[in-house]
Amino acid sequence: MKKCCVPLLIVLSTLSTFAQRPERTSENTPKLAELLEMRPQLDQNRDGILTMKEAFEGRDRKKRPAQPNQIAPTFADVSYGNHPSMKLDFWKADSGRPSALVVWIHGGGFRSGDKAPANSVLLKAFLDAGVSFASINYRLSDIGPYPMQMNDSARAIQFLRSKAGEWNIDPDRIAAGGGSAGSGISQWLAFHDDLADPESSDPIEHFSTRLRCALALNMQSTYDPRIIKEIIPGAAYKNNALPAFYGLSDDWNLSTAEIDADLDALFKDASPITHLTKDDPPVFVFHTERTRTDGNIHHPNFGTHLENAMQKLGIECVRRTDADYSSPNAQYDEMIEFTLKHLGVSAE
C-alpha cells in the first residue's frame, strides 16, 4: 500500500484550527484518517478511531522524556505462525493456579494497526485481577484478503492454548476483544464453529478456537456491503477498507457490480453475525455516540443489529454507548466486570 509521508507536526498544524471544535476524529477528518494509517500507535485505546485528543497527546509525548507507558510483556514478539506478521505479546498474570486469558486484537480497517501498544486500561485491570493478557498481530489486507485475518487470529488462539502448561493458562477460560476490525475478528471467532482439526499434521491446529466471551468496541457486526447499506444510513457500505478486505479492486462498486454465488458466499462468511447460533458466547458491545453519523463505518446501528439477533437466540448481549456513562473510563469498569464474570474469575 502506498503511504503518504506527512510529518506529524504538519498534520497537527493543519488540524489546529479545528482544535476547539468537538468530536473531530479520523471518522470525519481526512487528515486524522491519514495520520491514523501512518501512525496507528497514536490510537491509544485501540478502538480503530483516532481522536484529536489522542493525536495531540501523541505530539506531547514526543516532547517529554521517554517513559514506559505500559507494562512490559512477559514474552514479546513471539511467533505463532510462519509469516513475520504472525506475532504476539504475552503478559503472564501473577497467579498460583492456571489463569484465564484475554486476547486483544487491534483495529485499523484490516489494513493497518499493530499489537503494541495494547489497550493499557484493560491490560492493567486484567493483570490486577489475575488474568493473563495477550495482544496479537495478523496479516493485513495488503498482504492478503479475507479469511487470512480471521484465520491468523484463530491460530493465535490455538497457539496460546498450546502454551497452557508452559505459560500457566487455563485453556478453558479464554476471551477476546478489540476495536473496529479487531472487534469483528473477536466476534467472528466467538460465533464461528470450532476450527480445531484433530487430523492435522500440525499439532497447533488440534486446539480449539472457541471463546468464553467477546468485547466489541466501535464494532461492525457484518461486513456484507448489502446489509451495511440496509442498516447504516449514508454510504458506509462504500467504505474504502472493504474492497481490499475482500481482494476486490479499489474501484469496486456495489451499485454496478455483479455479485455471483462465490462473492455472495464470501460476503456472508466474512460477517460475524452470519455464524451466530444459540450455543455461542455472550458479547459486550460498545460504541461512542460521535459515530452515530450517516456513513460512519462504526455506527451504533451495528450493535443494535447484533443485539436483536442475539436476543432472538437467547444469548446475552450487553450493548452500551458512552452516553450510558458519567465518566470517560466508566465503560471499561463494566467491560472488565462482564469479562471476569464470564471467565469465572469472580468465583475464585
What CATH number does residue 227 fall under?
Answer: 3.40.50.1820
pLDDT of residue 63: 46
Same domain, 159 and 26: no
Domain coverage including residue 84: 75-342
**Is residue 2 in some structural domain?**
no
The span from the CA of 29 to the CA of 113, in Å, is 18
Residue 137 contacts residue 87 (beta carbons within 8 Å): yes
The span from the CA of 145 to the CA of 243, in Å, is 9
H-run or E-run covering 155: helix 148-162
pLDDT of residue 68: 42
Residue 217 contacts residue 180 (beta carbons within 8 Å): yes
The span from the CA of 243 to the CA of 75, in Å, is 35
pLDDT of residue 54: 79
Same domain, 89 and 224: yes
pTM: 0.85
332: amino acid identity, one letter = Y
Same domain, 118 and 262: yes
**Is residue 69 in some structural domain?**
no
β-partners of residue 175 are 102
Same domain, 86 and 56: no
Same domain, 85 and 233: yes
**Is residue 3 in some structural domain?**
no
Same domain, 27 and 134: no
**Is residue 70 in some structural domain?**
no
pLDDT of residue 347: 46
**Is residue 222 in some structural domain?**
yes
Q: What is the dihedral sign for C-alpha 62, 67, 69, 73?
A: positive
Same domain, 57 and 83: no
Same domain, 152 and 295: yes
pLDDT of residue 18: 45
Q: Which residue in 128, 136, 120 sits closest to 93, CA to CA? A: 128
16: amino acid identity, one letter = S
Cα distances (angstroms) measured from residue 304 to each of 95, 153, 332: 38, 25, 20
Same domain, 169 and 313: yes
**Is residue 208 in some structural domain?**
yes
Q: How many domains does the chain have?
A: 2
Query: Chunked in runs of 10, what are the mean pLDDT values of the chain (348 residues)?
Result: 48 48 66 65 71 72 47 97 98 96 97 91 96 98 98 98 98 98 98 98 98 98 98 97 97 95 98 98 97 97 98 98 92 96 81
Same domain, 253 and 114: yes
Same domain, 319 and 285: yes
Same domain, 26 and 143: no
